[in-house]
Structure 1
């Protein structure tokens, strides 16, 4: 098989268009040294762009390729990510989006550092960073597999070039570029995938998916019931503590908008899942030995690109490839921006150089985009399971970060002692369960351990243990210090009795809150004034007609 030059030219044109849109959108931040402008698009994201960028962030290459892979491998019953992340968005809109937006934070980690201190916030940055990096790696891996099948281009080259394109416009435009390109990318994903469905379903080598439903719907195995629930809960609650989500929540024009974006994106995720599920079902129903592929599928990572390449006309497969490219860009750029925003503000600004100017922070953020992109690219090239990466990215976030997020938003009495203890307990219990993707063998054998396989819901168990530790240790140290069993000089974290009068992060965020509330008030006054003037004009018009 030789390089598909027509497809390659089509992809190059698509990349040029996306790059042009991203660079055009970056003009909105030209010369700006404001973190709000670069990281949060000036907190001006409206409903139309907001719904597109929120949905496109989740519907990435890992989402569409991974869903097709899972349906083909295990059946729809085990393809949990689409509905899991949709439920997560709904819960986020109901319980977290409004509170975070009203408080005017810049990143998801701001309330963590306000409550637990800068150093503890730095520790919590690590699982947040790993989540974003694994997510980027998953979507880049999906693109690499698609390029290798449809264009016969080396996977490594495809991944590196795509990562460079995503980094280039993210570097200069920040969230403005990411959000505006998301609109185009989501449209490409929707039409590109749906266009391929009729051609693939009517291919002569494909049996009706209605006849093979018993295969692609999947079968239930009671042996794995606990694991099914474990992974489902991980996706639902592990989908919450993400900077990539809260970056859009915090960039919305108002708290109400942030909730609407969450609900609309949940619906969008489920709608965008349908073509991937159908492609997985089609792949299950295909006699692959009779196609030009000439053999059964041995690598389920490439299910979606194989369907596009061998079951649809060449032009359609190229358009489908454009959809995958769009999906990758829409998620990769978001994750890179999120990881770099947290590092620049919560690590560099609040932990390393508290006197750093906003210009310096923005340049640190841009450098972080490059470093994060390099790490994600390496993961995409070296780890071979797209759907596995898709799960893994919410794994450590679920166990370590979710209890902490719940604490900073809803539980008043928790403190740094409880946070640190919970971090250690959660991480130890989760790593103890092992991780095949990282070649990490289990050193804790949970109940029902069978030949190296954990059949116990150890992820949820680890999360609950972390949450219980956070509450109990916080209460213990609060009791010890307030009852003067321990002298206040031993309050080394200064979070119970030696609380400083005005920590820097609080002051920074209070300033942000005040400015944000002022902007909202000014906006409401302006809208009210415009409505009054419009009403006056309408009345004058009515008088003239009379």
Structure 2
């Protein structure tokens, strides 16, 4: 269907690449401001609309436009409910956690989540140890997620441009690497805002087409005729064995939005005068519209069926049910959705390497502002190429599952030292124990058990929290809590503990 319109696809791609790279060039002045926070957190300059847009674009991404419709195709309407719960979760995280993290990070002078964990829990050499270990965990687990995002954008781009997967993925990730290394988080946030507008347009057009073709009642009747379980499930599909298991997504996604490093760095990047309730007011309607996209999976199951790969539901929809010109524009918008998360993950992973590992491994070495900027930019390029190579040689996988393996396990690893520490702050031993136990528990359950997709990460969160409190409490006599969360990198003695005081900063 797209053969006679291939010129339009390539033209749209070229135009979009020019816009994205242009924004990267404009954002370079913030990245090159002489302060490393310019590259890492946009110089703490994000306003409410851009902040809300980059949060929601990052949250609803490749999994939202390709992975989630694929799950809906495979498991039915339970995925539509599950996807809808992400919007309220993001709003809760913005309202009840973003303000604290922004203020706390600014007070202790940190720009990344590993740096935040280290300064809140360590002193002396412990700062370096915690920053290095948390950075390594972030790099390993987010690379897993980045691989899934590159595959998602590569699959759709290959069909759209009529090229093979390798060429498509290389082309798409190349432009992401270029504008991200030029402008850092400012470029990521600005391009995300453009992408979010495209994603909203795509969602409205897609839902309009489906409702113009059939009613919700008619779609339900068609699905029931194929398999009653598609609309009347007896369990929560991949999310758990009971019908109610799907609601664990609300807890999971709230913690996900609050704790994951690429979301946390956005909270740190808001201007100090931005009111989080205003950000939430922008984010809420965005979440409602984007939550409707998984209906595509149900529609394709009813009207097409027979797909060997459920992740093909969205590409099949685009080539089967939309006019080529409309399909070209919507495909571009969906590619934007995938890139919005790919650029966020790439920026976070590269920051963990170029900033956190650099500080942890070379604590006494001083780099010039220009050298630091080039280290940050070089890390983006190297890790972008590494993720592309990993994707090309990875075995087949379901996009949504791989995304949860990476982000869900990272959530379990960081929930205690980032989120639980708001209410009760432990010490370095507790932070280290929670990161290791959370990683092993969540990763082990997702890889080697039949537990639902939410059960593994949430069980990891619970185990990590228990380890954080128990180990911290039992080792306060060895390494007390860092008073007021202010740590240094010297070999000086650890400050006295703030015994019995809640760690609210």
The bucket for the TM-score relative to the shorter chain is: 0.7 to 0.9
Residue 250 of structure 1: aligned partner: 268
In the TM superposition, what is the alpha-carbon distance from 1:256 to its structure 2 partner?
4.5
Q: Note the 1:141-540 alignment, pairs <5 A.
A: 141-199=151-209, 208-212=218-222, 214=224, 216-217=230-231, 219-221=233-235, 224-225=241-242, 228=246, 233-254=251-272, 256-258=274-276, 260-262=278-280, 264-274=282-292, 276-287=293-304, 296-357=306-367, 358-381=369-392, 382=394, 383-412=396-425, 414-433=426-445, 435=447, 442=448, 453-454=450-451, 457-478=455-476, 481=477, 491=478, 495=480, 503-504=488-489
**Deviations, residues 246-295 of structure 1 (Å, cap 9, x unaligned):** 22211111264345435633542232121x1232222122045xxxxxxx
Residue 136 of structure 1: aligned partner: 146
Give the distance between the partners of 1:316 and 1:2, measured in 2 at CA. 11
In the TM superposition, what is the alpha-carbon distance from 1:207 to its structure 2 partner?
10
Distance 1:243 1:424, change over 3 A: closer
Tell which deviates more after alignment, 345-354 or 169-178.
Answer: 345-354
**Deviations, residues 372-418 of structure 1 (Å, cap 9, x unaligned):** 22233244442432111232232212221112212432213x11122
| Maintained 8 Å contact 1:128/1:401 | no
Give the distance between the partners of 1:464 and 1:502, measured in 2 at CA. 27
Residue 106 of structure 1: aligned partner: 111
Q: Note the 1:76-115 alignment, pairs <5 A.
A: 76-79=77-80, 82-103=83-104, 104=106, 105-114=110-119, 115=121
| Maintained 8 Å contact 2:10/2:161 | no
Give the distance between the partners of 1:384 and 1:425, measured in 2 at CA. 25
Aligned residue for 2:43, secondary structure, equals helix
Distance 1:403 1:137, change over 3 A: same
Give the distance between the partners of 2:89 and 2:437, measured in 1 at CA. 24
Give the distance between the partners of 1:499 and 1:316, measured in 2 at CA. 55
Distance 1:217 1:380, change over 3 A: farther
Q: TM-score, normalised by structure 2?
A: 0.82
Give the distance between the partners of 1:21 and 1:52, measured in 2 at CA. 19
| Maintained 8 Å contact 2:427/2:482 | no
Distance 1:434 1:337, change over 3 A: closer
**Deviations, residues 124-170 of structure 1 (Å, cap 9, x unaligned):** 22333344333332322222222333433211111111011011011
Give the distance between the partners of 1:213 and 1:233, measured in 2 at CA. 29
Distance 1:377 1:255, change over 3 A: farther
Give the distance between the partners of 1:461 and 1:30, measured in 2 at CA. 39
Residue 37 of structure 1: aligned partner: 38
**Deviations, residues 55-103 of structure 1 (Å, cap 9, x unaligned):** 2122212221122112111123135663443344233223321112112
Distance 1:411 1:259, change over 3 A: farther
Q: TM-score, normalised by structure 1?
A: 0.77
Give the distance between the partners of 2:442 and 2:56, measured in 1 at CA. 29
Distance 1:58 1:502, change over 3 A: closer
Greater RCO, 1 or 2 (C-alpha within 8 Å, sep 6+): 2
Give the distance between the partners of 1:131 and 1:319, measured in 2 at CA. 33
Give the distance between the partners of 1:192 and 1:231, measured in 2 at CA. 25
**Deviations, residues 188-232 of structure 1 (Å, cap 9, x unaligned):** 22223433444455569x994243364554513287128646666
**Deviations, residues 290-325 of structure 1 (Å, cap 9, x unaligned):** xxxxxx211111101100101111111111211112
Residue 54 of structure 1: aligned partner: 55
| Maintained 8 Å contact 2:220/2:231 | no
Give the distance between the partners of 1:39 and 1:360, measured in 2 at CA. 15
Give the distance between the partners of 1:193 and 1:497, measured in 2 at CA. 47
Q: Greater Rg, structure 1 or structure 2? A: 1
Give the distance between the partners of 2:423 and 2:185, measured in 1 at CA. 28
| Maintained 8 Å contact 1:65/1:301 | yes
Q: In angstroms, what is the RMSD of aligned CA positions?
A: 3.3
| Maintained 8 Å contact 1:7/1:151 | no
Give the distance between the partners of 1:425 and 1:53, measured in 2 at CA. 31
Query: 5+ unaligned residues in a row in structure 2: which ranges?
Result: 493-505
| Maintained 8 Å contact 1:38/1:176 | yes
Residue 520 of structure 1: aligned partner: none
Give the distance between the partners of 2:190 and 2:245, measured in 1 at CA. 39
Aligned residue for 2:388, secondary structure, equals helix
Query: 5+ unaligned residues in a row in structure 1: which ranges?
Result: 289-295, 436-441, 443-451, 482-490, 508-546
Give the distance between the partners of 2:381 and 2:61, measured in 1 at CA. 20
Give the distance between the partners of 1:465 and 1:235, measured in 2 at CA. 18
Aligned residue for 2:221, secondary structure, equals coil
